Each structure stands twice: as structure tokens, then as C-alpha cells.
Amino acid sequence: MAPEKICDILKQRFPNAVTAAVLDARRPYATVAAEQWREVATCLRDDPRCAFNMLQCISAIDLLEDNRLAAVYDFFSVPIKGVGPCPRLKHHFAVRVVVDRDNPHIPSVSDIWPAADWHEREAFDMMGIVFDGHPDLTRILCPDDWEGFPLRKDYEFPTEYHGIPATTEHQLTNPRH
């Protein structure tokens, strides 16, 4: 199904949830309000016209110029009997949930798609987005006592970690971002 139609279905069912949509780009996506994200996610999975049974990836991005963070969800509809109705569609769609940088809370969808579990932990670890309702929101790639969120654009690199120096002989500690 064309991305315009998927977006229309969402707009029809949740008139206030879809705040923006980029549909003619290389990768079409809709922006969904964080408050209604769980209802929209359930609809994306269960509506037979969408039937997105596979959550491929959650990419957290830093929109520093807008003072915001975002999580981008990529779905695929795999033609098998799985969760929800059996799709014959093989289509792809993306949803972006944008939140405030100072208060980055997004409801967790790890019970809707279990695949979201580790992706949400990674987004929390790297970008500091808090997924409310996640069963075990802890750091996954960095050590538990790591400070800061490394993929944020304003991240300050530590100069040492447990006595291990992190500076080079050229004193380079901060890369471009």
C-alpha cells in the first residue's frame, strides 16, 4: 500500500495524533504525538490494511537545532500469520515520535512488538530517551555506571573512566559532534 494511504488511515482514526508527514521523500514517514503513540502503534499492528507485524528498527536521532530528540520506528509487513491479521501486503512504513530534549518521554511499545525491547534500551543508553512502561530500561551497550548519552550532539567526552585516561597524545577528546 502506498505511504499516503497508510497515513490517511492513521489521520482518519486519530485526527490529532498525526502532526506532520513527509510522504514524497526517499523514505516516507509520519510524525506521531507521543501521547497517542501507543494507540497508533496498536492500530498499525492490528488494522488489516496496515498489518505491520514486524518492527525492524528504532533509530534515535538528535534534532539539536530544534532542541528535540526523536525516535524513528521502521515497520515491515511480513506475509505470514503472526500477531494480528495475516497481511499480503509486503509494505514498509516509518513513524517518527518527536519529544522535548529536556523531558524526553515516549511510551514503550515493547508489549506490542517484543522486538522493541532491546531497541528501546539502546535508544535510552545512547540518546537518553526514556520509554515509559518498559520492563527493564537499563543501559545495554555502555557500562551501567557510564555518564551521559554518547550519541547526543552536545555530548562531552569523559577524560577518564575508572582511572583509565581517555585523552590521546594530541589531547583530542571531542570529535566534531
Partner 1 sequence: MADTLLESQPDLMLDIDKSEQGDVRTEEMLVNMGPQHPATHGVLRVVLRTDGELVLEAVPHIGYLHRCAEKIGENLQPYQYIPYTDRMDYLAGMNNNQAFAIAIERLAGIEVPERAKYIRVIFAELNRIASHLVALGTYGLDMGAFTPFLYMFREREMILDLFESTCGARLTYSYINVGGVHDDFPDRFLDVLEEFLDYFEPKIEEYNQLLSYNHIFVKRTANVGVISPDDAVRWALTGPVLRGSGINWDLRKSTPYEIYDRFDFDIPIGLPGGSERIPRSVVVGDCWNRYFVRLVEMEQSCRIIRQAMKQIPEGKILANKLKNLKLPNDEVYVEIENPRGQLGFYIRGDGSAIPSRVKARGPSFCNISVLNHIGKGCLLADIPAIVGSIDIVMGECDR
Q: Which residues bind partner 1 (CB under 8 A)?
A: 25-27, 53-57, 59-62, 72, 74, 78-83, 90, 92, 94, 113-115, 117-118, 126, 139-143, 150-151, 175-177
Beta carbon nearer to partner 1, 18 or 112: 112
Beta carbon nearer to partner 1, 14 or 91: 91
How many angstroms separate the CA atoms of 153 and 137, rounded?
Answer: 22
> Least distance (Å) from partner 1 to the CB of residue 107?
18
Cα 9 to its chain centre, rounded Å, is 21
> Least distance (Å) from partner 1 to the CB of residue 130?
19
How many angstroms separate the CA atoms of 10 and 123, rounded?
Answer: 25
> Least distance (Å) from partner 1 to the CB of residue 98?
14
How many angstroms separate the CA atoms of 79 and 130, rounded?
Answer: 32
Beta carbon nearer to partner 1, 42 or 59: 59
Beta carbon nearer to partner 1, 107 or 150: 150
150-154: Cβ within 8 A, 24+ apart:
150/126, 151/60, 151/62, 151/126, 151/127, 152/62, 152/64, 152/69, 152/127, 152/128, 153/62, 153/64, 153/177, 154/64
Cβ of 7: how many Cβ atoms within 10 Å?
19
Beta carbon nearer to partner 1, 33 or 115: 115
| Beta pairing partners, 35 | none
Beta strand 164-165 with 160-161 is antiparallel
Which stretch of DSSP H or E encloses residue 35? Answer: none
> Least distance (Å) from partner 1 to the CB of residue 78?
5
> Least distance (Å) from partner 1 to the CB of residue 15?
26
